Amino acid sequence: MSPWAWAELRAQEPLRALWLALAAAFLLALLLQLAPSGLLPGCALFQDLIRYGKTKLGAPPRPAVCRAFDVPKRYFSHFYVISVLWNGFLLWFLVQSLFLGSPLPHWLHGLLRILGAAQFQGGELALSAFLVLVSLWLHSLRRLFECLYVSVFSNAMIHVVQYCFGLVYYILVGLTVLSQVPMDGRNGVVIHCNHRIPFGDWFEYVSSPNYLAELMIYISMAVTFGFHNVTWWLVVTYVFFSQALCAFLSHKFYKSKFVSYPKHRKAFLPFLF
Ligand SMILES: NC(=O)c1ccc[n+]([C@@H]2O[C@H](COP(=O)([O-])OP(=O)(O)OC[C@H]3O[C@@H](n4cnc5c(N)ncnc54)[C@H](OP(=O)(O)O)[C@@H]3O)[C@@H](O)[C@H]2O)c1
């Protein structure tokens, strides 16, 4: 490995280590779910931390102490409020820096260096990072709109740790994108809040096409980064395992709740998993 490539790898270590650790944690959680039920950790806290929303209903009975940390799942909208504001703010600074030549604020520059901003790549990465940040911002805006005007949330819950993770997640994703820049329908009528078997389009192939679409969004951002950005592929790996876990738990939930659940339907990847 050339000295430059080695130096770049080391400079990116904190963020890469973080995404690698998150990907590994979700891979482990997924493998534990796939293991025979006798090997599954019975610990209520573990189940509480990996399940949220409707998949909590498929878990063993939850002690009162666990329920004390419940937060309504409709608070998902807070993640996207934070993301639209924070990533809009980062986008603003990036536009100023790329197109008007203004330096990033000292505190942001310092933070990016601590996190391991790229320092040895070509200038074309700055444009890729700009496009990815615009996509992330638009994606968050779309999700916020969806949470406020389309999704109909039941009384589903998430754990307060998952809630805090969701808040920090979009801050970290935005910083990860910026660190790649070289330095120097609610309109319908609500009939009920039950979870039913979804049909049509991609639902014919997988139980959770929304999680698959989320993965594809992050892969498209990897394409925008030119395929070879290791840090972003670690983010994609994390998204893959976290969404695979959610999809697997949803799939199990549907199969346990509906005897007529389509047998050919996979959890996450059409025809495969
Ligand atoms: N990047 C990440 O790390 C990350 C992490 C988590 C989620 N996400 C993304 O955020 C988006 C939303 O995630 P989510 O976990 O909230 O998705 P979800 O469980 O499919 O819920 C989306 C909406 O559909 C409702 N719903 C779910 N299953 C239903 C069914 N069988 N029948 C009727 N309504 C149903 C939910 O109501 P209830 O809430 O009442 O169940 C909610 O209003 C996804 O696109 C996901 O990819 C991203």
- Give, for ligand 1, the residue of 30, 139, 142, 152 to mutate: max count of ligand atoms closer than 8 Å to Cβ: 152
Q: What is the pLDDT of residue 119?
A: 59
Q: What is the pLDDT of residue 18?
A: 95
Ligand 1 centre distance from Cα of residue 53 (Å): 8
Q: Which pLDDT value is given to residue 243?
A: 98
Domain containing residue 103? 19-257
What does the pLDDT read at residue 191?
59
Q: Is residue 4 part of a domain?
A: no
State the total domains in the chain: 1
- Asked if residue 70 has its Cβ within 6 Å of ligand 1, the reply is no
- This prediction has a pTM of 0.82
What are the CA-CA distances from residue 109 to residues 61, 98, 101, 113, 226 (Å)?
A: 48, 14, 14, 6, 24
Provide the pLDDT for residue 222. Answer: 96
The candidate with the shortest Cα–Cα distance to 153, out of 81, 75, 62, 50, is: 75
pLDDT for res 1: 47
7 occurs within a structural domain: no
Residue 90 is assigned to a structural domain of this protein: yes
User: Is 265 among the domain residues?
Assistant: no
Which pLDDT score is estimated for 190? 59
Beta bridge partners of 158: 71
- The pLDDT value recorded for residue 160 is 96
Contact 249, 50 (CB under 8 A): yes
- Phi/psi of residue 158, each to 5°? -130, 160
Run means of pLDDT, 10 residues per run, the chain, 273 residues? 52 85 96 80 81 84 86 96 98 92 89 76 75 97 96 93 97 95 60 81 95 97 93 97 97 94 96 94
Q: Does some domain include residue 98? A: yes
Q: Is 51 in the pocket of ligand 1 (CB under 6 A)?
A: no
Q: Is residue 221 part of a domain?
A: yes
Question: Is residue 10 included in any domain, yes or no?
Answer: no
